[in-house]
Structure 1
Amino acid sequence: MASIAPRSSTRNGKTIKVYDARYRDPSGRQRKKTFTKKGDAERFAAAVETDKARGQYVDLSDRTTVAAYARAWAEARPHRASTASRTASLIDVHIAGTALGGRRLADVRPSEVQAWAADRSRALAPSTLRLLVSTLRSIYTSAVLDRLIASSPVVRVQLPRSERARVVPLTVDQVRALAEAMPARTRAMVLTQAGLGLRVGELLALRVSDVDFLRRTARVEFQVAPRSKVRTDPKTPRSRRTVPLPAVVADALAAHLAEFGAGDDGSIFTTATAGTFYTRERYGELFAAAVGRAGLRAGTSSHDLRHHYASVLLAAGESVVAVAERLGHENASLVLSTYGHLMPDSEDRTRRAVDEAWSGTVLGGGRRPGDPGRRG
């Protein structure tokens, strides 16, 4: 239990009576806080014991900075290698590299977080800024659970409005032109990604054993991690999937393997010199050069081939759920939010739905002439 002990103290050349509130924190460490009034010391001691009993004790003397705790938080997360790298970069550059990072966790106020977010908005895209603020919010939530602070200052942060541009998928002719603009050894990569809807890492990791030409299916088992030549688990558990193998892809793969062969580890797409699969960065360089030669819009990336795949399926009448499964998404909501405007005849269906709902009524609650009505 906390105790109150009076003693004499010299302040500004005068001897005064002060009161030491002594207590033990939840770890058993002896603590002390001094007050000039006995009533204040008693109230503090009672509050400490109440907080300890409720499991709400916070060590207000802790000097941990935002940057130090953020790094410790990140190291303890069960992140995949690519996620861990991205998170570490965000923390190093945009938290530790700012004035906020040097502040003591418990000293940061909501207004400081808002000012920090406004400053970061001048250097980051809206989507990246939202990811950064979400990361800081998670860091502070963890600090609350660790009882280093009583509450999080990352609340009601106002961020710039983010308008996501509508997807304009590549046409079949554009994909064909892009493939023809690629070096011969990588031409089948474009057709495979466009015909199977693979992420670029999944494409690079594809092996001969993953493709069943007889049953006309392709199995996604791995992806290639960024900036490496290492196969890792796919992005999410749902990313590990079996995809129907169209004839256009089967023919492209068969021709590619006949001309270039497979790597020693079974990799389908290999470099001419090393005999191993491409890195994401090298494939991106080749792709960007082909975009220019094919005359496609600037900024077109390999991810646009996934958009092409989704748009083809939706135009053919595939359900949103089926498209989500083919793409390896966790649920169909992302497909709806990204590709909903591409669903066929959506405008006609909207008009028809409203017209059919109103077809039996007229303004004022009456009925159309000739319809059965009430007796007058």
Structure 2
Amino acid sequence: MASIARRPDGKWRARYRDDDGKQHAKHFDRKGDAQKWLNEVTAAVVTGTYVDPNAGRLTLRDFYLEWKTRQVWAPTTLRAMDTAIRCCTFADTDLAKLRRSHVEQWVKTMTATLAASTIRTRVNNVRSVLRAAIRDRIIATDPSEAVTLPRQRRTEHAMRIPTPEQVGQVLTAAEDWFAPFVALAAFAGLRIGEASAVQVRDIDFLRRTLHVQRQVQNGPTGVEVSAPKYGSERKVYLPDALVTLLAQHIERVGVHGDDGWLFPGVPTSPRNMRRAFDRTCERVGLDLIPHDLRHFYASGLIAAGCDVVTVQRALGHAKATTTLNTYGHLWPTAEDRTRVAAADLMSTALDARGDQLGTAEG
């Protein structure tokens, strides 16, 4: 319900009531301006973009603190979201007053100390809060939309894939207790938290499979055990040599704790496993990180002719697009397949030609 009335002072007062019955009013010098404002409000209501003009007085931080209580998040997601809001320079600004310039200045500030990938993650986390505010009709538009972010290196240039010889060096240099970690990362593609969380009951020696069903992470109060990343619980098919290595490790080194953890610590800290990996690489003069071994595994599957879905499932990616975005440059292109096919044709033709020449000379 809306109306326009002239006040004793000559101004025009436009009024309307929202869906909750709350009255809103605004004064104008001209009746036409009052009617235009009411038309805009009516259009917003009809199109579903109406926002209570008083709702945006809530700050970004206050909205986030209330909104996050309703979210179903893993502990790591909660920590990442808290970090993004904590470092956000406009967290205490009213949502209605947020402008694109606020976000641009925040991004500019972060470029002095953070990597491009970290900046992108934090902006995306804050953007998810802003979009939740839009869905709740707290604000009408997202001030972070289309803000320019620092460029990241192309995946194919940033990715380091060790050679088989380098992986062999690391595995040889690893201490007896640590060698299975290197092998699980390089020949089963496990992430550092997944490999650190393996228990003996996860290994099916008869079927040569490993059930990835948990991960360990460094939390604010110590080591935390949780389910793998979304979509990452899976069965990995192990090569015979890896099954043998794991069996020998259990026989010679043993397992730890009542649950049969493969590595000491019950459970061990990924931070400690990273330190052990760094020491191992130092002994052979290599500059690698554990995730490089996961890339080694993925590249080997692709080189062997595995399709995208097979690699996705082996790595525990939630979506095939994640696999393609990360490793798409490793798959043969149409040009590569054409070149190989043409080479086969030429080889066959040359072999036939040689046979004909040999027969003629005979």
* TM score, norm. by length of structure 2: 0.81
State the match for 1:314 in structure 2: 302
Q: SS of the residue aligned with 2:114? A: coil
Q: Distance in 1 between matches of 2:111 and 2:158?
A: 22
Q: 2:201 aligns with which of 209, 215, 235?
A: 209
Q: Is the 8 A contact 2:84 2:123 kept in 1?
A: no
More helix by share: 2
Matched, 1:69 2:28: no
Q: CA deviation at 1:328?
A: 1.3
| 1:49 to 1:292, Cα distance in 2 relative to 1, 3 A | same
Give the Cα separation in 2 of the matches to 1:162 and 1:322.
28
Determine if the alignment matches structure 1 residue 84 to structure 2 residue 84: no
Measured against aligned partners, the alpha-carbon deviations of 1:7-60 in whole angstroms (never above 9, x if no partner) come to: 56xxxxxxx454544443322334443444455445434544554455432122
Could you tell me how far 1:200 is from its partner in structure 2?
1.5
- Is 1:150 the counterpart of 2:140? The answer is yes
Please give the alpha-carbon distance, in whole angstroms, between the structure 2 residues aligned to 1:4 and 1:28. 17
Structure-2 change in CA distance of 1:46 and 1:327 (3 Å): closer
The verdict on how the C-alpha distance between 1:302 and 1:355 changes in structure 2, with shifts beyond 3 A counting, is closer
Choose which of 23, 28, 53 in structure 1 pairs with 2:21.
Answer: 28
Distance 1:183 1:27, change over 3 A: farther
Task: Say if 2:176 and 2:253, in contact at 8 Å, map to a contact too.
Answer: no
Map of 1:277 onto structure 2: 267
In the alignment, which residue of structure 1 is the partner of 2:49? 56
- Seen in structure 2, the aligned counterparts of structure 1 residues 353 and 166 have a Cα distance that, compared at 3 Å, is farther
Deviation at 1:282, TM superposition (A): 1.5
How far did residue 198 of structure 1 move?
0.9
Cα displacement (A) at 1:213: 0.8
Q: In the alignment, is residue 169 of structure 1 matched against residue 161 of structure 2?
A: yes
Aligned match of 2:2: 2
Which has the higher mean CA deviation after the structures are superposed, 48-57 or 322-331? 48-57
Query: 1:342 and 1:224, CA in 2 relative to 1: closer, same or farther beyond 3 A?
Result: same
CA distance in 1, matches of 2:69, 2:96: 21
| Structure 1 residues 53-103: Cα deviation after superposition (integer angstroms, max 9, x where no partner) | 55432122331123333444444332211112112111211x1xx1x3233
Q: CA deviation at 1:235?
A: 0.9
Deviations 1:113-137 (A, max 9, x none): 3343333333322222222332333
Counterpart amino acid of 1:249?
A: L
Give the alignment's Cα RMSD to 1 decimal: 3.0
Give, in whole Å, the separation in 1 of the partners of 2:21 and 2:275. 59
- Equivalent residue number for residue 128 of structure 1: 118
What percent of counterpart residues are identical?
Answer: 37
Q: Deviations over 1:236-263 (max 9, x none)?
A: 22x2211112122212211221133223
Which residue of structure 2 aligns with residue 371 of structure 1? none
Distance 1:151 1:320, change over 3 A: closer
User: Any idea what SS the aligned residue of 2:168 has?
Assistant: helix
Q: How does 1:1-376 map to 2 (within 5 A)?
A: 1-4=1-4, 7=7, 16-45=9-38, 47-62=40-55, 63-93=57-87, 95=88, 98=89, 100-164=90-154, 165-227=157-219, 228-237=222-231, 239-271=232-264, 276-297=266-287, 300-343=288-331, 349=337, 351-352=339-340
Q: Does 1 or 2 have the higher relative contact order (CA < 8 Å, sep 6+)?
A: 2
Distance of 1:354 and 1:122 partners within structure 2: 51
Cα distance change, pair 130–257 in 1 and its aligned pair in 2 (3 A):
same
1:167·1:339 contact (CA, 8 Å) conserved in 2? no
In 2, distance between residues paired with 1:109 and 1:345? 44
Unaligned runs of 5+ in 2: 345-362
CA shift at 1:296, angstroms?
A: 0.5
After superposition, give the CA deviation of every residue in 1:319-376 in whole Å (9 maximum; x if it has no partner).
Answer: 33322221112344443443344457987535456899xxxxxxxxxxxxxxxxxxxx
- Give the number of aligned pairs: 340
TM normalised by structure 1 equals 0.78
SS for the counterpart of 1:184 is coil
